[in-house]
Amino acid sequence: MKNSGNFLDGLNEVQRKAAVHTEGPVMIVAGAGSGKTRVLTFRIAHLMKKGVDPFNILALTFTNKAAREMRERIVKIVGGNEGKNIWMGTFHSVFSRILRAEHDKLGYPKNFTIYDSDDSRSLIRDIIREQGLDEKIYKPNMVQARISISKNNLMSASSYNNNPQIQEDDKMSGKPKIGLVYRIYNRRLFKAGAMDFDDLLYNTNVLLRDHLDILVKYQDRFKYIHVDEYQDTNFSQYVIVKQLAARHRNLCVVGDDAQSIYAFRGANIQNILNFEKDYPDLQTFKLEQNYRSTKTIVEAANSVIKNNKEQLKKTVWTGNPEGDKIRVLKALTDNEEGHQVARTIYDLKMNEQAYNRHIAILYRTNAQSRSMEEGLRKMNISYKVYGGLSFYQRKEVKDLLSYFRLVINPGDEESLKRIINYPTRGIGETTLHKLLVTANDHDVSTWTIMENIQDFSVDITPATRKRISDFVAMIKSFNIRAHEANPYDLGMEIANGCGLLKELYNDKTPEGVSRYENVQELLNGLKEFSEGGTSFLAPPTQPGEEEKKPSLIEYMADIALLTDADEEDDSRDRVSLMTIHASKGLEFPYVFLVGLEENLFPSQYSVNSRADLEEERRLFYVALTRAEKRLFLSFAETRYRWGSLINCEPSRFIGELDPGCLAFEESGFKKKDERPIRRFKEPYEEKVFRKDPPSKKGPGKNMVKLAQAGKSYTESKYDNSHLKDLRVGMQVEHDRFGSGKVVSLEGIFPNNKAIIEFEDVGTKNLLIKFARLKIVAEQ
DNA sequence: GTGTAATGCTATTGG
DNA sequence: AGCATTACAC
C-alpha cells in the first residue's frame, strides 16, 4: 500500500488537475492513449481519500471488465476494503440492478428475465407471423432495429404510433404496421416478465421520470458520477445521467469524440459535442499527450482523423520515440493474407522476442477471423478469438440457461419455447401451438395454461396432458428452491433432471463431445460462482442490508449482461483476434490491421453517407491507436465472400495516411493499377485457385518444419498436415479401424471431416485433426 | 411426433 | 461456405 498523499505524483499536470477537480461538471477530452483510465482511477481514489463515502460514487464504464480492473486499481491505491462499495459497471448492469431493487414501481417481477437479441428477434418474428405480415417485407432484423432505435430515443410505442412523421415514413416504405408490432412486442415482454437490453435503460428512465421519490433517492446516493467513453452514450443514457446528476451536479464525463464508433446502436456523438451547452459552468480538461504509441503511429492517426469535419479541437502528441514505419502488406487472397500475417508474427517472435500476448490482429467483421486462424494454426501460433458467437450464445449453453431462466421465471416464454421439447419429451409443435393460442386467447402466460391444463379446454390427448404436467412438476420442484439452494447443486440437478446432460453425453460425434464440454464449462463457472460468493456485478450491500447469498437467481442476473469482453484474461500466451469495435480501450505492442479494402473497411454500407463514412474513419483511427510499438496494415486483392471469389480494391484509408509514416518497399502507394507494394517477405507459395491439382510436395515444406519445431499446436495433438491432401476415393489406413476408403470430405483443413468406409467396421465420420490416419493409395 | 434432407439466408459493428 | 429454418418422409 502506498503512503497517502503522494499517489497523485504519478500524473502529469493536466491529468492531476482533472483528477482533483471533483466538484461541479467536468469534461475530460482524452485523446487515444492519454491515460484517461488512470485519471478516472486516481480521481475516484482521491475522492475516497478526501473522505467521500464510496456508496456515493458511481462510475459507468464501457465493459464490466473495465469496471473490475478499475476497482482493483483503486483498492490498491486506497487500501482497505472500501473499494468494493463503489457503484461501478456498465449502464446496463448498474441499472438492471436498480430496476430489480425497484421492480414493484414498474409492475415487473423482481426476477424479471433479460431477453438477449436472439430472444427478442424471435419474439418479434412470432408477432409478425401472428399478425399475418409478410416476413419478406417485415424483416425481423429490421423491425427489431427500428424498435431499438425508438427505445433508445425514449419513444414509446404510443408516441411511435401517434407521430405523424414516423407513420408517414413507415407507410411510404410499405411497412405501416411496425408501430403495431412494437406495441404488441412491448406488451408481450411485460407479460413474460422480461426486458430487452434497451428496456434496461428505457425503464430506468420511466422509473426516474414517474417516481420523484426514487429520483431523489438515487440523486442523493450518487453524489459523484463518472461516465467513461461518454462519446458512445445514446440519448436514453444521456437522460439518465442528466437526471441523476441534476441535484449535486458533480458529473465527470470522459471521452474522445474521435473515437465514437457506436452510432449504429444509437450512440450520439452530440452528447459530448454539446456537453458544454448543458453545463455552461463546466471545467474542461484536455489530455493530449499520448503515452501509448510511437511518434509514427500518433502522426499517422492524426493524419487520418483530420479528414473528419466535426470534432472537438485537440492535438494529440507524444514524447515517445519515432519508432518503425508502418508496414503495408499486399496479399493475393484472404488466405494468403492470413499466411503472411502469421509469418510476420513468427518473425517478430524470432527477431524481437515478441510474446503472443503482445500481438493483436484486428479486423472489421468477425467473418475475417477464419483466414487469420488458418494462417496462425499452420505456423503453430496459439491464439484466441474474441467475440463472434459468444460462449453464452452457443446452442447447448443457451439450452441449459433457458432451463435456469424458466425455473426462475416461468413466464419466460422464449425459454419455454426453446426447451419444452428439448430433450424431446413428446410435446411437439402442434401441442405447443395449441398451448400458445390458448394462452393468447385467455391473455395469460403459456405457463399458466400448462400449470392449470385441466381447467382449459385444449384439444390434446390425455397422454400429452400427462407429459405436460410432468414437465410442470419438474420445473416447479426446481423453482421452489431457486432462492436458497446452492446454485451449483441446483444447476447440476436441473442439468441432470431435464435430461440435457444425458442427451449430450450420448452424442459421441466430435461436435457432440464439444457441446458436452461447453455445458460442463458452464457448470464449472456456476460452481466457482457458488464458492466465490456474490459477483462483482452486484451493487454494494447497503448498510443494514443483509449480505446476499449466492443463488441461481443472482447468477442469472449476472451473466445475462456478460460478454466476451468481460472475460478474465487467462495467463496463456496467445495472440488476440478481435473486431476493431471489441478492441476499444485495449492496447498492444504489435497490431495487425487486416482487410483494408473498399467495401469491407470502409464497409459497403457506409460509403454513401458522409456521416457513416466519418464513423468508419473514426473506427480506423481507433484501430491505429491500439498499437504501441509497431503497426502492420494489410489488404487482399481477392477474397472469398458468400463462398465465391471477389476482387477487392485497397481501402481509401490507406491513401489518407501520411505517406511519410508508411514503409513501402518501392515507390509507395499510388494508383490502383500500379503495383508498388511488395510483401514483407517472400510470398508464401499458395495456390490461388482451388482447382489446382494437389501439390506433390505437400503443403509448404517450411510450414511443416515450423509446425514440428514448435511446442504446442493450438488444438491438434497430432501433426496431421500430411492429410491436407486427402481426397475422395483415396485408400487410407487407420490405427484402430483398419483400411478403408474416403467417401466424402467437408470443411477446411484441419477442421474438416471425412466420411470413411472401413472394410471391417463400416462407415465412420472422422475429424481430420484427430484422426490417426495414413494415406495408402491415391485411388 | 420425430428425424433427416433440402432450401434459403446470411456477413457490419454489440450490451 | 456454413448455419438455421423448413419440407418431407417415416
Side chain identity at residue A728, one-letter code: V
Spatial distance from the CA of A395 to the C1' of B7 (Å) = 22
Q: Which of A740, A759, A760 is nearest to A771 (CA)?
A: A740
User: Mind listing the pLDDT tens digit for each residue in A162-207?
Assistant: 999 999 999 988 889 999 999 999 999 999 999 999 999 999 999 9
Q: Within 13 Å and on the Cβ side, how many CA atoms surround A588?
A: 26
Strand C nucleotides in reach of protein CB atoms, 7 A cut-off: 1-2, 4-5
Place of cell 400448462: A450
pLDDT score of A220 more than 80: yes
Predicted local distance difference test score (pLDDT) of residue A212:
97
Q: What is the mean pLDDT of residues A143-156?
A: 93
Strand residues in A356-416 grouped as ranges (E): 359-363, 383-385
Q: Write out the DSSP string of A298-352.
A: HHHHHHHHTT-SS------EE-S---PPEEEEEEEEHHHHHHHHHHHHHHHHHHH
Nearest protein residue to nucleotide B3, judged by CA and C1' positions: A424
Place of cell 420442484: A477
Higher pLDDT, A390 or A96: A96
Predicted local distance difference test score (pLDDT) of residue A81:
85
Higher pLDDT, A767 or A505: A505
Q: What is the mean pLDDT of residues A712-727?
A: 49
pLDDT score of A546 more than 80: no
pLDDT score of A536 more than 70: no
Helix, strand, or coil (residue A519): helix
Q: What is the mean pLDDT of residues A3-18?
A: 81
pLDDT score of A710 more than 80: no
User: Mind listing the pLDDT tens digit for each residue in A452-469?
Assistant: 998 888 888 888 999 999
- Strands A251-255 and A26-30 turn out to be parallel
A386 and A576 in contact (C-beta within 8 Å)? yes
Predicted local distance difference test score (pLDDT) of residue A696:
25
User: Mind listing the pLDDT tens digit for each residue in A593-623?
Assistant: 999 999 999 999 898 899 999 999 999 999 9
Spatial distance from the CA of A582 to the C1' of B13 (Å) = 9
Percent of chain A with pLDDT over 90: 61
Spatial distance from the CA of A616 to the C1' of B12 (Å) = 11
Cell of A575: 495472440
Predicted local distance difference test score (pLDDT) of residue A387:
83
Spatial distance from the CA of A568 to the C1' of B6 (Å) = 42
- Top mean pLDDT of A390-404, A566-580, A608-622 is at A608-622
| Minimum-distance nucleotide, CA of A579 to C1' | B13
A354 and A632 in contact (C-beta within 8 Å)? no
Spatial distance from the CA of A736 to the C1' of B1 (Å) = 38
Q: What is the mean pLDDT of residues A704-708?
A: 26
pLDDT score of A571 more than 80: no
| Minimum-distance nucleotide, CA of A644 to C1' | C1
Using CA atoms, how far apart are residues A172 and A182, in angstroms rounded to an integer? 18
Spatial distance from the CA of A429 to the C1' of C7 (Å) = 15
Strand B nucleotides in reach of protein CB atoms, 7 A cut-off: 1-3, 9-15
Using CA atoms, how far apart are residues A568 and A571, in angstroms rounded to an integer? 9
Predicted local distance difference test score (pLDDT) of residue A715:
30
> What's the pLDDT band for A708 if we cut at 50, 70, 90?
very low
Q: Which helix (H) or strand (E) holds A195?
A: strand A194-196
A745 and A700 in contact (C-beta within 8 Å)? no
A574 and A376 in contact (C-beta within 8 Å)? no
Spatial distance from the CA of A34 to the C1' of C6 (Å) = 54
- Strands A224-227 and A251-255 turn out to be parallel
Predicted local distance difference test score (pLDDT) of residue A584:
92
pLDDT score of A301 more than 80: yes
Predicted local distance difference test score (pLDDT) of residue A688:
25
> What's the pLDDT band for A691 if we cut at 50, 70, 90?
very low
Structural Rg of chain A based on CA atoms:
28
Predicted local distance difference test score (pLDDT) of residue A757:
77
| Minimum-distance nucleotide, CA of A747 to C1' | C1
> What's the pLDDT band for A705 if we cut at 50, 70, 90?
very low
Least confident range of A244-253, A377-386, A506-515, A701-710: A701-710
> What's the pLDDT band for A156 if we cut at 50, 70, 90?
very high
Using CA atoms, how far apart are residues A400 and A555, in angstroms rounded to an integer? 13
Using CA atoms, how far apart are residues A398 and A10, in angstroms rounded to an integer? 45
Predicted local distance difference test score (pLDDT) of residue A229:
95
Q: What is the mean pLDDT of residues A374-402?
A: 89
pLDDT score of A674 more than 60: no
Predicted local distance difference test score (pLDDT) of residue A448:
94
> What's the pLDDT band for A760 if we cut at 50, 70, 90?
low
Percent of chain A with pLDDT over 70: 86
Enzyme catalytic residues of A: 36-37, 228-229, 259, 626
Q: Which residues get their CB within 7 angstroms of nucleic chain C?
A: A 122, 395, 640, 642-643, 746-748
Nearest protein residue to nucleotide B1, judged by CA and C1' positions: A428
| Minimum-distance nucleotide, CA of A390 to C1' | B14
> What's the pLDDT band for A369 if we cut at 50, 70, 90?
very high
User: Mind listing the pLDDT tens digit for each residue in A93-149?
Assistant: 999 999 999 999 999 999 999 999 889 999 998 898 888 888 888 888 889 999 999
Using CA atoms, how far apart are residues A50 and A78, in angstroms rounded to an integer? 11
Q: Which of A149, A143, A153 is nearest to A121 (CA)?
A: A143
How much is the mean pLDDT over chain A?
A: 85
| Minimum-distance nucleotide, CA of A393 to C1' | B14
Long-range contacts of A737-744 (CB under 8 A, 24+ apart): A737/A761, A737/A764, A739/A776, A740/A764
Q: What is the 3-state secondary structure (H, E, C) of A572-599?
A: CCCEEEEEHHHHCCCCEEEEEECCCECE
Residue A292: which region, alpha, beta or left (left: phi > 0; alpha: psi -120 to 50)? Answer: alpha
Predicted local distance difference test score (pLDDT) of residue A671:
36
Residue A246 gets which letter from DSSP? T
Q: Which of A113, A192, A116, A173 is nearest to A148 (CA)?
A: A116
> What's the pLDDT band for A310 if we cut at 50, 70, 90?
confident
For residue A141, CA distances in Å to A124, A126, A128, A148, A200 come to: 9, 13, 11, 10, 20
User: Mind listing the pLDDT tens digit for each residue in A345-362?
Assistant: 999 999 999 999 999 999
pTM listed for this prediction: 0.83
Predicted local distance difference test score (pLDDT) of residue A184:
94
> What's the pLDDT band for A746 if we cut at 50, 70, 90?
low
pLDDT score of A15 more than 50: yes
Least confident range of A21-25, A102-106, A209-213, A643-647: A643-647
Nearest protein residue to nucleotide B10, judged by CA and C1' positions: A642
Nearest protein residue to nucleotide B12, judged by CA and C1' positions: A365
Predicted local distance difference test score (pLDDT) of residue A477:
96
pLDDT score of A34 more than 60: yes
> What's the pLDDT band for A749 if we cut at 50, 70, 90?
low
Q: What is the mean pLDDT of residues A212-233?
A: 97
